[in-house]
Amino acid sequence: MKKSPLYAVTDRLNIRQFGLQDMLPFYEYRANPTVSQFQSWENFSYEDAELFVEKQMNHIPNQPGTWFQFALALADSDLLIGDCALHTPLNEPRIVEIGFTLSPEYQGHGYIHEGLKALLDYIFRTLGKHKVIAFTDVRNDKSIRVLERLGMRREGHLLQNYMSKGHWVDEYQYAILQSEWLID
């Protein structure tokens, strides 16, 4: 099978492009209701997974006006265990947004922290971005802990900022500047 391009490596993870081998594990965790609880999607189907993976296999990061999804795979087996998103807005591509998801089986071991640290290095050092932001549902304690453990600052509480499962939901906006990340 063709090797998927690699964007970063950590002790336990390869952060790489999505490939066809990711279809089933991606579908399985995205369709899990505990994973979608604080996300906009519901009833994620295998066809949704196929469309998503095929699009991401042919995409490249840092294209203004698009989302790129990095696959997080175990370094030893290359098994997909999660993903991290990078949104590069059209109107201000120097400020980017991230998102992240981990398969429930692999939660509680620091994998997202490890993957996001490498991704922030890639975003600030390789892509040279000015600021990274992230939004989280105010009820999503695990996500809040991930963002604060990375040193991201809560910059806002946005009332009824997105529609989830038929209800308007509050979000926190978190952020970190390139100048803050590169001090470490």
Ligand X SMILES: CC(C)(COP(=O)(O)OP(=O)(O)OC[C@H]1O[C@@H](n2cnc3c(N)ncnc32)[C@H](O)[C@@H]1OP(=O)(O)O)[C@@H](O)C(=O)NCCC(=O)NCCS
User: In terms of CB distance, is 9 or 128 closer to ligand X?
Assistant: 9
User: In terms of CB distance, is 128 or 165 closer to ligand X?
Assistant: 165
Q: How far is the CB of 178 from ligand X (least distance, A)?
A: 21
Residue nearest to ligand X (CB): 110
Query: Do residues 128 and 120 make contact, with C-beta atoms less than 8 angstroms apart?
Result: no
Q: How far is the CB of 2 from ligand X (least distance, A)?
A: 28
Residue with tokens 């990095």: 70
Q: How far is the CB of 85 from ligand X (least distance, A)?
A: 9
Which residue ranges make up the site for ligand X (CB under 6 A)?
A: 35, 38-39, 99-102, 107-113, 136, 140, 142-143, 145-146
User: In terms of CB distance, is 102 or 132 closer to ligand X?
Assistant: 102
